[in-house]
Amino acid sequence: MPNPLLILASQSPRRREILSLAMIPFETVHIDTPEIFDPGFSLDENVRRIALEKASAASHLFIDKEVLILAADTVVVLDGKVLGKPGNHDEAFWMLRSLQNRKHRVCTGFALLSADNSFAECVATEVEFEPMTADEITRYLDTVRPFDKAGSYGIQDPLMACHVRRIEGCYYNVVGLPLSSVCRAMKPFFS
């Protein structure tokens, strides 16, 4: 039996770049689903559930095809509070200011879904920044405009990379997809 077609349910260029490192052919689809946290569930449960909801929504586009759908949701967590995507420049500035000179966690829930099986996992990475001045934060925000990124930053951005003191865990998880965990989880889906 041939391997299923791998579908990445995301339009994130960062996730596409990371997944391409695995050298497995894949296609992408855009899925627009609500990313609502349920206070009755833990953070890990929420990001796994949201990723599975994205994968499930994508599966409806492939009713008659053998596919393996990969979806993910990434959040930044500081002192137990989720920092999502900023609504504006001021909120982004506040987020980055809050993250300075302290550790925070980046959690990515990812889900794999096929016709017969599903799998979901949450991967966490700790990140610590060197202090940034108000001018450095403003320069980063004005230059990179990271308003589509959880926590208001992309660790892969050159201006931000200059301020990373320490990472404990998977670097690619912070970018948006924990590649080694995803590859390990995909093995049972492929022959």
* Active-site choice (32, 64, 73, 142): 73
Q: How far, in whole angstroms, is CA 173 from its chain's centroid?
A: 7
User: 3-class DSSP state for residue 55?
Assistant: helix
Work out the angle at residue 106's Cα, subtended by the Cα atoms of residues 14 and 19, and round it to the nearest 5 degrees: 30
d(CA 185, CA 19): 13
**Tell me, what's the pLDDT at 171?**
97
The position carrying tokens 């041939």 is 2
Active site (annotated) includes residue 73: yes
The position carrying tokens 């050159």 is 158
**Tell me, what's the pLDDT at 191?**
67
Residue 185 has which token pair? 């989880």
Q: Where are the domains of the chain?
A: 5-189
Mind listing the pLDDT tens digit for each residue in 108-133?
999 999 998 999 999 999 999 999 99
Work out the angle at residue 26's Cα, subtended by the Cα atoms of residues 181 and 63, and round it to the nearest 5 degrees: 105
Residue ranges of the chain with per-residue pLDDT less than 50: none
Q: CB of 44 within 8 A of CB of 122?
A: yes
**Tell me, what's the pLDDT at 3?**
80
173: nearest Cα among 106, 127, 121, 84? 106
Residue 110 has which token pair? 């990812």
Q: CB of 110 within 8 A of CB of 50?
A: no
Mind listing the pLDDT tens digit for each residue in 134-147?
999 999 999 999 99
**Tell me, what's the pLDDT at 1?**
53
What is the CATH number that goes with domain 5-189?
Answer: 3.90.950.10
**Tell me, what's the pLDDT at 34?**
84
